[in-house]
Amino acid sequence: MPSEFLKGFRVLDLSQFLPGPYATQMLADMGADVLKIEPPRGDPMRGLNPVTNERGPAPFHAAVNAGKRVVAIDLKSDTGRDGFAKLVKASDVLLESYRPGVFERLGFGRDCLRELNPRLVHCALSGFGQTGPLRLRAGHDINYVAMTGGLGVTGTKDNPVTAFPPIADYGGALQAVAAITGALLGRERDGEGAYLDVAMADAVLAWQAYGLTQANAGRVPARGGDLLNGGAACYQIYATQDGGFISLGAIEEVFWQNFCRALDRDDWTSRQMEPMPQTQLITEVAEVVAGHSRNHWDDVLGDVDCCYHPVLDYSEVPDWPQVVDRGLVEDGGSIRFPVWTDGRPPPGRTPMQEVSLADAIAAWT
């Protein structure tokens, strides 16, 4: 089971908001013992409540930190620093998301951590990285994606459109987990820890090879004008009569042929590779799709091999047959670790547990 992969490894999580906590939650899902350290005032995510827009504990904070123990430590106090040092000595991994230089000012720079625990895998997860002219610049997901070129080719012809959920946050978390697990494997070989500088902007930049390769060949991708970002009729989102939408990903010729045949429009078949943006062809397909409801198109295309799927609202997702079968969505909207192992779905998580510093130290030393 995934919950056994990292059993026996101890992880200190000094991150806030979404990226770091999601990364350490994945480590917890794979069996690591994760202790999340928050300042006395708590992770700011506790008060950021876009889920319900109400005052009080934010439900997403509890969701993204499920499977962990949480302790409040004042790293500016002698007691807090002494207790934290004891935890570092007993840890395998430390993930922090401070702005570059802050952790050093708290007295726990790279040299200090290496002295406390030479086998420690220290992951510094930040927006732009620990080096470069933007290393100290404040930012959020939208800014990191903007730097990579990805935002510039996402959206309509007139305007870029922000992606949701925040891809740099989740991409940075995934990159951190990949680097941490690799470093732990390397440590098993040579016994040495590692310092990992992971930037959310870098993580999304690493996904831009397709567009940068195009640009290097002299053809800069145009927003709403290329195959994968709105310029093709065969790879498109279409509105239905009842205000819904359907998605079509019929890139391969056979899928496009099957789609055209299902709509009794064989005359579209030979037009799949017309120059992009395929404004006229997209308009023709859109007019046909707009003539019927989403349920109608589900009946017509649901069993056709053409890379079709209705665009679901969040209210529909938990009860969607494929989602139910995979067993990932828990009550309240939390999502389990998205990996089946040996034919079995992932287990549920234990709720987030608040603990004292004394209990945290006792458990690890």
Residues labelled as active-site residues? 140, 169
Distance CA 71, CA 356 (A): 6
**322: part of which helix (H) or strand (E)?**
helix 321-326
CA dist 200 and 166 (Å) reads 11
The strand ranges marked E within 15-169 are: 33-38, 69-72, 93-96, 121-126
Question: Do the beta carbons of residue 305 and residue 258 sit within 8 Å?
Answer: yes
Are 208 and 150 within 8 A, CB to CB?
yes
Q: How many C-alpha atoms does 132 have within 13 Å on its Cβ side?
A: 12
Question: 204, 328, 302: which is closest to 248 by C-alpha?
Answer: 302
* Beta pairing partners, 125: 198
Q: Are strands 33-38 and 69-72 parallel, antiparallel or unpaired?
A: parallel
Provide CB contacts within 8 A for 338, sequence distance 6+. 328, 346
Measured CA to CA, the distance from residue 241 to residue 291 in angstroms comes to 6
- 175 Cα distance to chain centroid: 9
What tokens appear for 273 in the block? 């590779």
Who's near 299: CB < 8 A, 6+ residues apart? none
Q: In degrees rounded to 5, what are phi and psi of residue 348?
A: -75, 170
Q: Among residues 69, 71, 114, which one has the least CA distance to residue 94?
A: 114
- Residues 6 or more apart whose Cβ sits within 8 Å of residue 344: 1
Q: For residues 29 and 181, what is the distance between their CA atoms, to the nearest angstrom?
A: 13
